Copies of this chain bind each other. A is one copy, B any other.
Amino acid sequence: MPVLLAPDQAPTLHELLAAANTVGLDCKVVDTSAEPKPRIRGLGSLQFAGVEEISFLSNSKLQAQLATCRAAAVILTPDVFQATEGQALPYTAVLCSQPYLMYALLAQWFDQHRIDHLPGGIHRSAVIDASAEIAAGVSIGPQCVIEAGAKIGAGSRLGAGCIIGTGSVVGRDCLLHANVTLYHGVRVGDRAILHSGVVLGADGFGFAPDPFKEPGAWAKIAQLGGVSIGDDVEIGANTTVDRGALEDTVIGHGVKLDNQIMIAHNCRIGNHTAMAACVGVAGSTVIGERCTIGGAAMVSGHLVLGDDVHVSGGTAITANVGKPGRYTGVYPFAEHVQWQRNAAVLSQLAQLRKRVRHIEKPEH
């Protein structure tokens, strides 16, 4: 990766480990050489890390790369370290039972360090209604619009071009990247990260047939509910969460939504559930806690998925799922000609079963 920090701003390994918020994680530093140690200017993969960077091994398939890694330090488990004892590792070993989590926390430190250097304050081009409440330490980028009665909590940062609708509330220490749009009546908890193009609070898709206008015409059902987002939620670029028809659409604490996801009106998503990109959840569906929904999966409306349900990418969930576990429904791909042959039979599958029945019981 690009080295993040100038040499005079980079920490030593021990300074880095002390500065990063690694509370709870075990950590033991083992120097196998007596050479002077470089400062840590960044973080890299085993393959690409430079001599002033720290790396990590979390995927055992990459263990062979340990031998050629050029990093200043590598995070690895005590077990792996013991297994390599014969080799004189050319870097400092940071022993930790959870290298991937340790890496996550160090990467957060580097990213936070970058953010701390961004300009703060409220840009003169932002349009902020006199009745909006902007807490201390908030920064608001150029061309933002904060409408009447909106509230922005302490320490939150809004990138350029964000729009916060009438009466909407953003909690403390949130990070809204550029061009996030909140309609009126949207509530976002603390420490949210909202990416560019996110739209919270657009009208849910609700219509009643209106035979008095014209055959086939639709009457709009005004969407009078709002959107309620918990604490510690991250929402990816161009993802949309619609407002409820009467009550709020609810996203629980710690939920992580990737890009281009659609959460329809009246849905309730349980705490710590994570969804990969391009997922669609139709209206009024309730999804439990700690679920994972794979990319481009689709969940029909008015369903209930329990806790700890894991949906594979590309799967259409069309019925309630009560039991924890992994669920899949993906058409296996093949070379086109082979697919054609099988698909032709699939279209007559009921017929094929009849033929098998007939063989089994010719009298029928």
18 pairs, A vs B, C-beta closer than 8 Å? A98-B208, A103-B208, A104-B207, A104-B221, A127-B143, A141-B145, A145-B161, A147-B160, A183-B196, A199-B238, A205-B256, A218-B254, A240-B260, A260-B260, A280-B295, A325-B335, A327-B339, A356-B359
Question: Is A190 an interface position by the 8 A CB rule?
Answer: no
Q: Which one, B101, B224, B232, B346, contacts A349 given CB within 8 A? A: B346
Inter-chain CA distance A234–B125, complex, in Å, is 31
| Minimum C-beta distance from A216 to chain B (A) | 4
Residues of B within 8 A of A313 (CB): 282, 298, 300, 316, 318
Residues of B within 8 A of A199 (CB): 179, 195-197, 237-238, 259
CB neighbors of B among A111-131 (8 A): 111-112, 114, 118-119, 123, 125, 127
Number of copies: 3
Instruction: Given the known inter-chain contacts A161-B145, A197-B238, please indicate yes or no for A272 contacting B218, CB distance below 8 A.
Output: yes
Interface stretch, picked from A11-19, A32-40, A43-51, A87-95, is A43-51
Question: Is A60 an interface position by the 8 A CB rule?
Answer: no
CB neighbors of B among A327-353 (8 A): 327-336, 338-350, 352-353
Inter-chain CA distance A193–B165, complex, in Å, is 17
CB neighbors of B among A208-231 (8 A): 208-210, 212, 214-226
Inter-chain CA distance A349–B280, complex, in Å, is 28
